Amino acid sequence: MTQPLARRLGLFDAVVIGVGSMVGAGVFASFAPASAAAGAGLLIGLGIAAVVAFCNATSSAQLAAQYPTSGGTYVYGRERLGEWPGFLAGWSFVIGKTASSVAMALVFAAYVAPAGYTELVAVLAITALTAVNYFGITRTATLTKILVAAVLTVLIVGVVLGLTGTSEPPITGLGSFTADGWYGILQAAGLLFFAFAGYARIATLGEEVIRPERTIPRAIVSALGIALLVYAVFALTLLSVLGPDLLASSSAPLVDLVAVSGHSWASPLMRIGAAMAALGALLALIAGIGRTSLAMARHGDLPSYLTAVHTRYSVPHRAEITLAAIVCILILLVDLRGAIGFSSFGVLLYYLVANVSAYTQNTENRRYPKVLQIVGSIGCVVLIGTLPVSSIAIGTVVVLIGILYRVGRIRRLFI
């Protein structure tokens, strides 16, 4: 029996970790590719992504109340559907969130690194945040609180400055929202789902939350609601000030927002805010992937080497160090938009298993109507199908690699 993790996180801690996981991803990484896919229709895509995310969040909350342990949907899938669906969920989460970690490290570096040093700065960020996680989950929660408070302050300043500028609103009517067609809108929704998936981190930390059967459901829904409000306000501001075309080509939307509105003096502040948001998301990602890897290793679906829990700091230190090494390698090989699409593929598969698992729960453990799980499942399948072809192809190959690895483990070909 491996050492359990300590319960140290309260409701506020869990909500902050969820918000920190989402805001960095949504505001600074996913709006530009979504605008490239759908133009102003990204607002409709944001609404679709929010509906799917809400259905998924209620499924995750309902399951987490019944199974308050590390691993999230990996555990739920095993308990409700069997070992293979559980493995699919866990593997999809690990690969999808590893891609998210790459994306967040690159976003951080894009805002702060000198020209030519992007990859180096991204690797240093991964190394530093892995060290923070290594020394305990309470330190992770404390740093996340600081980052979230600072980021929300910077976003408020950016929105106010953007809306008080002199730029002409480029959106003139409903027709412009559907000009790129519904396929583009659905693809934008799939890419924007990347921005909502952070609440999964709360469920994966289930073994470290105080009174998890009560705290986790409340934290998941609260964090999602806060993130959606932030996204809606910021998306409207970006489209109103920059317009779809400029937003689609922007590598630093917040900086461009204040520059176009005539407040270039605030650009350094926006860069700092974006960097802190990416760090907050990255910090929670490392913690969440480490816990899911720990759960999978406990059940023999990943090497037993990853089951180690630090005797003093109560963290899955080997899993987190291994993750950091893999992310550092991938930073040198992939670009930001490719990482976002691949991440969405993995995470949507993860939530598909979550919705199906929640659908099978009995009345005693049910908190939400079954129709939400049906809508969530259909939504996940549709959004996967509209992702960029390259993301679907690479995601399918990596999932198949995971399946082959598990077959080898079952047949004792691997340790």
What are 177-203's pLDDT values in tens digits? 777 788 999 999 988 887 887 766 676
Residue type, 140: T
Question: What is the pLDDT, as a whole number, of residue 295?
Answer: 79
- Indicate whether 172 pLDDT > 60: no
Query: Is the Cβ–Cβ distance between 357 and 59 less than 8 Å?
Result: yes
Question: What is the pLDDT, as a whole number, of residue 70?
Answer: 66
In terms of pLDDT, which residue wins out, 411 or 402?
402
Question: What is the pLDDT, as a whole number, of residue 174?
Answer: 46
- Indicate whether 370 pLDDT > 50: yes
- Indicate whether 104 pLDDT > 90: no
In order of 68, 155, 168, 291, the CA distances from 32 in angstroms are 36, 17, 20, 31
Question: What is the pLDDT, as a whole number, of residue 171?
Answer: 52
CA Rg value for the chain: 20
- Highest mean pLDDT range out of 149-158, 205-214, 300-309? 149-158
Q: Mean pLDDT, the chain, as a whole number?
A: 83
Distance CA 374, CA 371 (A): 5
Distance CA 267, CA 247 (A): 16
Domains, the chain, ordered by start: 11-410 (1.20.1740.10)
For 31-63, the pLDDT digits (tens) are 888 999 998 899 999 999 999 998 998 898 889
Residue type, 77: G
Residues in the chain: 415
Q: For residue 326, give the nearest of 130, 84, 115 by alpha carbon.
A: 130
Q: Stretch 134-143: mean pLDDT, rounded?
A: 62
Question: What is the pLDDT, as a whole number, of residue 168?
Answer: 57
Residues 6+ apart with CB under 8 A from 403: 87, 88, 91
- Indicate whether 81 pLDDT > 90: yes
- Indicate whether 289 pLDDT > 90: no
